[in-house]
Structure 1
Amino acid sequence: MNDTLTARLAALGRFLPTLALGLAGGGLAYWLDVPLPWLLGAMFATTLASLAGARLRSPGRGRKGVLVVIGVMLGAAFTPEMSGDLPLWGASLSVMLLATALMMAFSVWFSRRVAGHSLDTALYAGVPGGVSAVTGMALDSGADLRVVGMTHAVRILVLLVAIPPVLQWVGHVSLQPTGMDLAQWLWLPAPGDAAWLAGAGVLGAWLGHRLRLPNALLFGPALVSAALHLTGLTHAAIPPTLIALAQVIIGVSVGVRFTGTSLAKVGHTLVMAMLQAVCLLGIAILAAWGIHAATGVSLPAALLAYMPGGAPELSLVALSLGIDPAFVTSHHLLRITVLILLMPVLLGACRRLGARSGRGPSDGPDPC
């Protein structure tokens, strides 16, 4: 017991310099009035430090705790008034699945024909979402884990960097940071509300694992919190300081993925991942524009919901900007669930096609 506690405290101590860098980057971005300051500031600071050779530490268990907090926050966005929007949600979810299929097909084609990766690598790197689950599944395959991890990391980085200019381009949303005084930053919920929120987090994390939900620590608490808020049992909100800290840790989590990356050695992988991410972003923009024109669904909400990957990051962006986080979260949950269920089937089908054409999973381009 003491050894475990000592090890955790030691891990926390090693992470503190990375957290301090993230807080400094977020604070600077906040001072400069950058959109999404705590998230983007922390992400830029740690990404640049990682690429410069700094050995930054991952949040580890800290990220797991933050996912629970984000899940509880997202659940609070579900209200009884949403029932009238369900037909629009159904149409949007259908379009999102079609766009996801197109993204997946393009990603695999691009990785095989343009980037020259193996079939396993192309499939796992091309999944538009669920990076944690996908990486775990890739461990038992012939995929190049470094390419898979870097492709997902670069995609999330590109998406988060693109959000402010793209949202400003489509309009309908203000990205100007809202200044808060000290009293607002120090606001805390009442003890009863805090108990509801904590209970939703603990019960949701347990339920997420029991139900084997994708990204259980995010979507489990979101479901329990949504149930509490939909039924009116609580209207509790998360303190702004906790929201800012969650953004910093998520930003740091993206940045530290580039630790140990040598631009000279992986330059080709980085360039291919960036090109693929930009193309997928284009597909998401077209799909969001289409559903907006056809049904009147909020264009910014559809855009965040259709973006390929980064459920915690994009849901947190929706929450921070007030862009229908319940809508965005529901889309990412469905996408990740469908992708994880279909991945074994898709991989088997592509391998069979490759075998018929006389190619193995590590060979060159094939019909898949």
Structure 2
Amino acid sequence: MKIIMLNAKGLAIALIGAVLANYLNIPLPWLLGPLVAALFMGSVGKPLSCHPHWRKGGQIIIGMALGLYFTPALVQAISAYWGFILLGILWSLLLGTLLAVMQYRINALDWATAWFSSAIGSASEMVNIAEQYNAQVDKVVAAHSLRIIILVVLIPIFMGFYFQIDWTALVVLETERYGFIQVILLSVLALYAGKLFQYFNLLNAWILGPLTIIGFLSFVGFLPLRFPDWFIALGQLCIGWSLGSKFPFSFLKNNKKFIGLTFLFNLFALGLSIIFALVLFYLSDADAKILILGLSPGGIAEMSLMAKVMGLAVPIVVAFQLSRLIFVILTTRFFYLSSRKLILKRINRSKDIDH
């Protein structure tokens, strides 16, 4: 009963944050409002409770919403961006390596912690791998949490200023919506798809499972309608609430230097990613907004959700983020071990020089 009451309190405060953000015309109010509310409560020593099932539910809803965009025309559009997607994969490796060097040299972390806290991949996957190499897991978790929060908060602000986006004026095409019973039935289908992905230990099961099944049905023309606004808002609220409530404020008290420098490093990484995207934009005829969201070191749900709100080609952003995620998870062990050998060689070489 205590857990239920604490989660009910957390949900109520997250909802208040969303309503207030919507009233103040903040971008993505149902995502950023709960996020900021949860961060505020945590910063004053009153962290909000958020059961993991809320985040799973939010991921399922967002995966379902994104799946509706996988129409034949939009999926075909991915082919025009394959070169940029490849560049995005290489960029993630370069950026992650740069961040790791900065964490190692400036923040004085051991190489394992520096590498896995900087790899632009899934936080949960990086934590699992980091544990196997005796990295400081709490710092890996904190670094990834901080990176996602920075991106979720700052990218909408940048997009609004740079592209003169009036978030309040964005109009969603009025098409017929699914009814409550239809939403429930599709949610059950998406839930089982997520469970299937989790059973086979596939990446981001609770987003990609629902996205896959709904995307397939949308692609073959079985799902011509769209989900109601309340359903999408609920998904965003769950994601924002979960992100904010999981930020390790207790860890922050004893690691202020680490958090401060990591914050600056991630700002630097975001700035470099935006510059890289804009350079590619000026050298090509690609959509600048898609390049920024695709190349940003964020997560599939957050970046694709922004694409959805701005009316961009969601499948292309998903392709950017998913390909980068798979590449990082599959190769990060190899690149870590290879880079560690170079680090050890340099250390031994400097010792020889000292002697």
Task: Give the alignment's TM-score, normalised by structure 2.
Answer: 0.89
1:247 CA drift (Å): 1.3
Contact 1:315 1:329 (8 Å CA) reproduced: yes
1:298 and 2:296 are equivalent in the alignment: no
Task: Tell me the equivalent position of 1:44.
Answer: 36
Task: Tell me the equivalent position of 2:95.
Answer: 103
User: CA 1:351–1:165 in 2, change beyond 3 Å: closer, same or farther?
Assistant: same
User: CA 1:238–1:83 in 2, change beyond 3 Å: closer, same or farther?
Assistant: closer
* Structure 1, 347-356 or 162-171: larger mean CA deviation: 347-356
* Structure 1, 194-203 or 314-323: larger mean CA deviation: 194-203
User: CA 1:203–1:262 in 2, change beyond 3 Å: closer, same or farther?
Assistant: closer
In structure 2, C-alpha distance between the alignment counterparts of 1:59 and 1:177, rounded to whole Å? 34
User: What is the alpha-carbon root mean square deviation over aligned residues?
Assistant: 2.5
1:196 CA drift (Å): 6.4
User: Which of 10, 17, 26 is the equivalent residue of 2:18?
Assistant: 26
User: CA 1:72–1:84 in 2, change beyond 3 Å: closer, same or farther?
Assistant: closer
User: Which of 139, 146, 168 is the equivalent residue of 1:147?
Assistant: 139
In structure 2, C-alpha distance between the alignment counterparts of 1:178 and 1:59, rounded to whole Å? 32
1:277 and 2:270 are equivalent in the alignment: no
In structure 2, C-alpha distance between the alignment counterparts of 1:277 and 1:177, rounded to whole Å? 30
Task: Tell me the equivalent position of 2:246.
Answer: 257
AA in 1 matched with 2:65: M
Deviations 1:16-38 (A, max 9, x none): 11111111111101111111111
Deviations 1:304-323 (A, max 9, x none): 11111222222222223323
1:20-169 superposed matches below 5 A: 20-82=12-74, 84-169=76-161
User: CA 1:341–1:99 in 2, change beyond 3 Å: closer, same or farther?
Assistant: same
* Structure 1, 194-203 or 69-78: larger mean CA deviation: 194-203
1:51 CA drift (Å): 1.4
User: CA 1:193–1:266 in 2, change beyond 3 Å: closer, same or farther?
Assistant: same
Structure 2 spans left out of the alignment, 5+ residues: none
1:290 CA drift (Å): 2.6
SS of match in other structure, 2:34: helix
Deviations 1:148-198 (A, max 9, x none): 111111111111221223102331744226699xxx9xx961478537633
AA in 2 matched with 1:22: A
User: CA 1:31–1:273 in 2, change beyond 3 Å: closer, same or farther?
Assistant: same
AA in 1 matched with 2:302: E
AA in 2 matched with 1:16: A
Contact 2:69 2:314 (8 Å CA) reproduced: yes
In structure 2, C-alpha distance between the alignment counterparts of 1:104 and 1:282, rounded to whole Å? 14
Task: Tell me the equivalent position of 2:162.
Answer: 170
In structure 1, C-alpha distance between the alignment counterparts of 2:161 and 2:170, rounded to whole Å? 20
Q: How many residues align?
A: 347
1:324 CA drift (Å): 2.3
In structure 2, C-alpha distance between the alignment counterparts of 1:172 and 1:263, rounded to whole Å? 35
1:140-289 superposed matches below 5 A: 140-171=132-163, 173-176=165-168, 189-190=178-179, 193-194=182-183, 197-198=186-187, 200-261=189-250, 263-289=252-278
1:117 CA drift (Å): 0.8
Structure 1 spans left out of the alignment, 5+ residues: 1-8
1:343 CA drift (Å): 1.4
In structure 1, C-alpha distance between the alignment counterparts of 2:137 and 2:251, rounded to whole Å? 16
In structure 1, C-alpha distance between the alignment counterparts of 2:210 and 2:148, rounded to whole Å? 23
1:260 CA drift (Å): 4.1
Task: Tell me the equivalent position of 1:340.
Answer: 329
Contact 1:96 1:306 (8 Å CA) reproduced: yes
* Structure 1, 309-318 or 281-290: larger mean CA deviation: 309-318
Contact 1:51 1:258 (8 Å CA) reproduced: no
Task: Give the alignment's TM-score, normalised by structure 1.
Answer: 0.86
Deviations 1:260-290 (A, max 9, x none): 4265422112211111111111121122113
Task: Tell me the equivalent position of 1:317.
Answer: 306
In structure 2, C-alpha distance between the alignment counterparts of 1:125 and 1:168, rounded to whole Å? 29
In structure 1, C-alpha distance between the alignment counterparts of 2:145 and 2:169, rounded to whole Å? 26
In structure 2, C-alpha distance between the alignment counterparts of 1:240 and 1:66, rounded to whole Å? 14
* Structure 1, 338-347 or 164-173: larger mean CA deviation: 164-173
User: Which of 308, 314, 333 is the equivalent residue of 2:297?
Assistant: 308
Contact 1:25 1:42 (8 Å CA) reproduced: yes
Aligned identity (percent) is 24
* Structure 1, 28-37 or 155-164: larger mean CA deviation: 155-164
